[in-house]
């Protein structure tokens, strides 16, 4: 969680003010993030509270406005979410080290230069026939537009209800929220206690030259018959598939038929876990494969 600092600052340039506020601390990258992060505003503290000098970074309204101007062609809804949503920054052991807006978390430049890693989740929703609901991401999505993926993929936000770590409750709360936002699935149809967290993966994947993902992703299974009403700002298409139909999708994606593409995180889960977990789901033995202690680093 966030820690309080009252640093004496050595300014890197005369234009940077001395800050005295609340910051989030990353022991891995030695970066402290304020709630006003800016890649252009950084300084070292003269008396670091860690074993090596610590870099502070701060965002200003000017920086956000500049970024908005640069990305004026971005869909208005996606642009708003990029700056309003605050993702949870974690280290590679899934310890919370701060928070940052969705925009910076998905810029490959920031991912590479600052090692920004954020918490995420991927929902795999099955109906009572054990068919898996897939979605095609909308054309206006900033990362991986129009790719097919699992039911819902998003981020818990830096808010009290979604930071609860016990039994991954914060992530499950976020999953319930996003199933409504993206697919119109009401909360009553997907109670948080019906999600089964199965494991965690850590991966990095560029989307294009500018955007990408670097996520510590919680994998959630749920079996519910639901009414789906997709939000066109988020979802272009949906369909249920059985195992054989999914294998055919994989074949088409590998052969690049019909322009079909799969999201990189979905493909990692498919290749490493999905069919085994699917078997256990149908047999009623899913708890046998739950492993929330391991973080699988996949490429």
Residue 215 designated active-site: yes
d(CA 220, CA 152): 10
Neighbours of 188 (CB within 10 A): 8
Structure-derived torsion over alpha carbons of residues 154, 231, 100, 120, reported in degrees to the nearest 10: 0
Give the containing element (helix H, strand E) for 278. helix 275-283
Residue 32 designated active-site: no
What is the sign of the dihedral through the CA atoms of 236, 263, 239 and 172?
A: negative
Of 243, 298, 240, 247, the closest CA to residue 269 belongs to: 298
d(CA 107, CA 114): 10
Please tell me which residue in 86, 182, 215, 234 is annotated as part of the active site.
215
Please tell me which residue in 153, 162, 213, 234 is annotated as part of the active site.
153
Residues found in the chain: 299
C-alpha separations of 140 from 127, 175, 211, 276 in Å: 28, 21, 13, 33
288 near 280, Cβ under 8 Å? yes
d(CA 142, CA 49): 37
Q: Helix or strand or coil: residue 28?
A: coil
* Alpha helices (H) in 7-163, listed in sequence order: 61-70, 76-84, 102-105, 108-114
Residues forming beta bridges with residue 222, ordered by sequence position: 125
d(CA 163, CA 167): 11
Q: Where in the sequence numbering do the catalytic residues fall? A: 153, 215
């Amino acid at each position: 969680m966030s820690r309080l600092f009252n640093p004496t600052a050595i300014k890197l340039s005369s234009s940077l003010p001395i800050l005295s506020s609340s910051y989030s601390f990353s022991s891995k990258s030695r970066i402290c993030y304020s709630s006003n992060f800016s890649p252009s505003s950084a300084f070292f503290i003269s008396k670091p509270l860690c074993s090596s000098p610590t870099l502070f970074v701060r965002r200003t309204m000017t920086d956000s406005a500049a970024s908005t101007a640069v990305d004026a062609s971005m869909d208005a809804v996606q642009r708003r979410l990029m700056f309003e949503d605050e993702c949870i920054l974690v280290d590679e052991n899934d310890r919370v080290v701060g928070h940052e807006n969705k925009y910076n978390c998905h810029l490959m430049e920031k991912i590479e230069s600052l090692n920004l890693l954020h918490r995420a989740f991927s929902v795999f929703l099955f109906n009572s026939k054990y068919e898996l609901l897939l979605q095609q991401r909308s054309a206006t999505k900033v990362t991986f537009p129009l790719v097919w993926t699992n039911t819902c993929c998003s981020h818990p936000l830096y808010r009290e209800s979604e930071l609860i770590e016990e039994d991954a409750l914060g992530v499950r709360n976020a999953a319930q929220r996003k199933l409504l936002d993206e697919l119109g699935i009401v909360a009553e149809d997907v109670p948080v206690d019906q999600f089964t967290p199965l494991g965690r993966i850590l991966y990095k994947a560029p989307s294009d030259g500018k955007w990408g993902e670097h996520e510590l992703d919680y994998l959630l299974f749920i079996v519910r018959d639901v009414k789906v009403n997709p939000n066109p700002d988020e979802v272009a298409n949906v369909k249920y598939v059985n195992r054989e139909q999914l294998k055919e999708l994989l074949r088409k994606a590998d052969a690049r038929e019909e322009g079909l593409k799969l999201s990189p995180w979905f493909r990692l889960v498919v290749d490493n876990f999905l069919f085994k977990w699917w078997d256990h789901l149908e047999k009623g033995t899913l708890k046998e494969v739950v492993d929330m202690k391991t973080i699988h680093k996949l490429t």
